[in-house]
Amino acid sequence: MNIELVHIGFGNILVMDRVIAMAAPNSAPTKRTIQEAKARGQLVDMTNGRRTKVVVFVDSGHVILAALAPETIAGRLQAVRATSGMKLEQSDERDES
């Protein structure tokens, strides 16, 4: 099993295999969900005091706030996948020799 880890700023890492969705923080339903998660003790603030640009929903019911744009996180995920794909190809070449 290959676990995909993505750096989301300020030394914080997100396990992308657990992510269900990412949403903008400015809609009323998203704000309500943030407040509900805070009341349940399932809110994780990874913004380091910066403005929240994305709200990440994970399969455990936790809600994660991050200061990176969703496009940036998606781009970093693609870079991780490209890098892991190259590593797999290199290991396959070594196995064949």
pLDDT, tens digit, 9 for 90 and up, residues 21-70: 999 999 999 999 999 999 999 999 999 999 999 999 999 999 999 999 99
Residue 26 lies in a domain: yes
Q: pLDDT band at 85, cuts 50/70/90?
A: confident
Selection from 46, 95, 38 nearest residue 67 by Cα = 46
Alpha-carbon gap, residue 27 to 33, rounded angstroms: 10
Residue 6 lies in a domain: no
pLDDT at 83: 85
pLDDT at 81: 87
The pTM for the full model equals 0.85
Give yes or no for residue 6 having a pLDDT over 90: yes
- CA-CA-CA-CA dihedral for 64, 70, 15, 40, to nearest 10: 10
Residue 12 lies in a domain: no
The total number of structural domains that make up the chain: 1
Q: Say how many C-beta atoms besides its own lie within 10 A of residue 84's C-beta.
A: 13
Domain membership of residue 52 as a residue range: 18-96
